[in-house]
Structure formats: C-alpha cells, structure tokens
Structure 1
Amino acid sequence: MDSYYDSGYLAVVFGIVIFSVIIGLAGYVLGSLFLMKIFDKAGVEGKWRAWVPVYNAMIFFKLGDLSPWLVLYGIAGAALLSWIGIGYAFSLALGVFSAIAAWRIGLKLQKDAVWVVLYVFLSIVWLGINAFDKSRWNPNIQPASWASNGFLGDRTVWNGVPVQPAAAAPQPGYGAPQGYAPPAQPGYAPPAQPGYAPPAGP
C-alpha cells in the first residue's frame, strides 16, 4: 500500500516538474522574441543577442543607461552569498536595477514613467507591448544623471550595440532660479555657443 502512495506522489512531483519546465521554456522563448523586437527598434545589430541568456539582460541594462556589468554582479552576489542568507539582497537589487532600466527604455519608446509599474508586475506584458506597438526609439531622451559617471554609469562599448548618450557636463549657470535674467549691460552680447551660428541679418 505504501508503494502505491509513493508512486502517486512521485507522479505528481514529476508532473509539476515537467509543467514548470514547459512554462519556463515558453516564457524564455516569448521573452527573447519580445527582446529581439525591442533591440531591433533600438538599433542593436544581430537578432541572436536577444536569445543568449544573461547577455540579453546585459544589453537591456545598457539600453536603459545602466552598466551591463551590474547583471553579472547581481547574479554572482546572489549565488555566492546565498549560503549565508544575504544573497536575496543582490537579487532584490537586480530587480530594482531592472525596473530602472525598463523605465529608461520606456522613455525612449515614448512611454510615460508610470508604465514601469506594468513591468514590475507583468514584465512579459510590458515587453510584448513595447515590442509590437508602433512606438519608435528616441535616443535623444535626456540622459540619466548617473549615465556619465559613478558605479551605475555605462561606459561599455560593444560592436553592434548603440552607445547611449551620456549625461552632459553641467553648463555655467545651471541651477539658476527659474525666471531669473541677469541685468542687461550696454554693449554686451552673450558668448556664442559652440556649433551655433546666429541667423544672418536682413
């Protein structure tokens, strides 16, 4: 009688494992297909990049103005420190960075910042919408404040992956109160900006 229950239990466990593998493979294929379309919109060369595990997440981070190496740091930290019980902190950090990358990618695909909520709760739906809607990639979105320096900034250059614009250095007078205009001085003309040519007079 015990062997009957043991075999039934094993059959249920085996069924759950097979079902989980099928769902995992379907999610991987669907996610890679959606990433392939998003990468295509962003100008990434080579459709194969979306199908390579971990590397596709690194490109996703790069397009989202984050260092792609954060993916490896997060995975390594979660794996190496899980035995002392703090690996979950790296997994959580990786999830937060992924949401930040999705927010930046969403901005470049003409989505409002609130769309990142959909990514947090149903990332596959967010990927599908951005992959197949009519939005176009806009690389001229104001760069993130961390994009040019610091631990989060992306300074990696890969062939076939467009370089995202870095944050510009602050210009003189940045942060001046709104509506402030310096007092006019007779005979004073502001210095010409590099690359700017004033229109020709009549």
Structure 2
Amino acid sequence: MNYLAYSDYGAPSAGEAAFLAIAYLFLFLFAIAGYLITSFLLMRIFDKAGVQGKWRAWVPLYNYLVFAKLGDVSPWVVLGLAVASAIPILNFLAGLGLVVALIMISYRVNAKFGRDWPLLLLFILGPLGQWIFLAILAFGSNPWNPAIRPAPWANSFIADKTVWNGIPVQPGQPVAGGPNGPGYGGPGYGGSAYGTPPAPPASGATPPPPAPPAQGFTPPPASGTTPPPPAPPAGPRV
C-alpha cells in the first residue's frame, strides 16, 4: 500500500493556498476601509450632535456606544450584546439582537435629523447601505434637533440613563442630580440655561402688603383724580 499517497490528504495545493491568502488579504483590507469610512461618517454626525472630542468616533466599539446614546439606547445593552455575540452558544441570538438594536438607534438618530423612517430600508443592502445611510446624515443639510417625541422604549430597561462627560444629555433622559445635574445645561440638555424660575405663590395665600413710601416722599396723585385745592393763607395775628 502506498502510504505516501495519503500523507498529505486534504492539504491545499499551492494554488489553493495562494487563493486563500489573497482572499484573507482582501477581507482584511475591506475591514480596514470599512472601519475608516464608518469612523469618518460617525465623526461628522457626532460633530453635528454636539459631541465633544472627534477622537470618540475613531475608537472601535466605543464609537457605537456613543452612537447608541444619541439614539436613546443604553450603551451597556449594546456592549452586552456585542460581548455575547462572541460566545459560540449565544452568538446567533446576540447578533440578531445587536442588529435590531442598531436599527432602533438609527431610527432615533434619523428622526432627530428630521428624516423619514423609509431611509432605514438602506440597511437591507448590508454594510454598503449602512454607509449610504450614515453619509446622508453626515453630509445632509438637515440640522440636529433632539427635541422630538420620546422613544417608545423610554420607560424600559434599554433606555439610556447614563451621563458621560462630553456627550449631550438627550431631552427626557433621566439625569443624576435632578434638573441641575451634569450635562450641557442648555434647554433640552439636562438643565436650563436661564436659571430656576421663582416658585408661584401657594393657592389661597395672601400676598404681602406693599412697602411704605420712603420718609419725606409724597406719592403723586393717581391718574384721573383732581388734586386737592391749596390751603388758604393764614390770617394776621392779633
């Protein structure tokens, strides 16, 4: 029996090895190009949304956590799904949940740019559609307006309740410390830029009396009244 004929059974030939090397190189370059394109587009979107620090868009995974906060989804939920997607037993369900979360986030960010929801259909095209979607938001003329209707999941566990320095607090988001807690302090960003208004008087309370006029000061007569006649001169003394 010729055992040499079976010694390299299943090993790829030189041509197959070269093809696999080229394919892996192509995938590697595609991943690098995708990372650069996505980070650049997110940087433009973050700048429009008032996020401080362009570096946030260039940190892998962290940029999507910031994107989640702008889309009113807790970044910890996104991080948990991303970690679970690397576990062999949970990867399918976690990956599906991550796609759903990304669509929910994009739906909110898209609405804050004043765009209609059918734009999300670009996600059907895969990575190319996502790049087109982000490019429309990044280079479109629509301004960022976070003062929109609360998200349908605003009262659920997936709603964003975190406050990170340099990232605007979205309207309606719970802020630590009450209305004067951390955030940008502007209208709709976790506080008021105009100070706290005075509290209205309690119902049924009697307003305080007006302060008395200063000593030596005679108030002028009310409008529409006749001033009293001058006093007659005093008579000669006897």
TM-score tier (shorter): 0.7 to 0.9
- The code of the aligned residue for 1:156 comes to T
Mark the CA change 1:119 to 1:164 in structure 2 (over 3 Å): closer, same or farther: farther
- The code of the aligned residue for 2:62 comes to Y
Which structure has more helix as a fraction of its residues?
1
Give, in whole Å, the separation in 2 of the partners of 1:119 and 1:78.
19
**What is the aligned residue count?**
164
How far the C-alpha of 1:120 sits from its partner, in A, is 4.3
Over the aligned positions, Cα root-mean-square deviation in angstroms equals 2.1
Post-superposition, which runs of at least 4 consecutive aligned residues in structure 1 deviate over 3 A? none
**Structure 2: gaps of 5 or more residues:** 1-7, 175-196, 201-238
TM-score, scaled relative to structure 2: 0.65
| 2:75 aligned with 1:71 | no
Matched ranges for 1:180-195 at <5 A: none
Identity of aligned residues (%): 43
1:163-190 superposed Cα distances (whole Å, 9 cap, x missing partner): 111279xxxxxxxxxxxxxxxxxxxxxx
**Structure 1: gaps of 5 or more residues:** 169-193, 198-202
Give, in whole Å, the separation in 1 of the partners of 2:74 and 2:173.
14
How far the C-alpha of 1:124 sits from its partner, in A, is 0.8
TM-score, scaled relative to structure 1: 0.76
Matched ranges for 1:67-106 at <5 A: 67-80=74-87, 82=88, 84=89, 86-106=90-110
Tell me which structure has the larger Cα radius of gyration: 2
1:17-37 superposed Cα distances (whole Å, 9 cap, x missing partner): 111111111111001000000
Residue of structure 2 equivalent to 1:41 = 48
CA contact (8 A) 1:61 1:68 kept: yes
Residue of structure 1 equivalent to 2:147 = 140
- The code of the aligned residue for 2:18 comes to A
Residue of structure 2 equivalent to 1:151 = 157
1:84-139 superposed Cα distances (whole Å, 9 cap, x missing partner): 3x321011001001001001000001101111111343101101111111111001
Give, in whole Å, the separation in 2 of the partners of 1:154 and 1:120.
26
| 2:119 aligned with 1:115 | yes
Query: 114, 138, 146: which is aligned to 1:131?
Result: 138
Give, in whole Å, the separation in 1 of the partners of 2:134 and 2:165.
24
- The code of the aligned residue for 2:44 comes to K
Give, in whole Å, the separation in 1 of the partners of 2:140 and 2:153.
29
Query: 156, 169, 183: which is aligned to 1:163?
Result: 169
1:68-98 superposed Cα distances (whole Å, 9 cap, x missing partner): 1112110122223x1x3x3210110010010
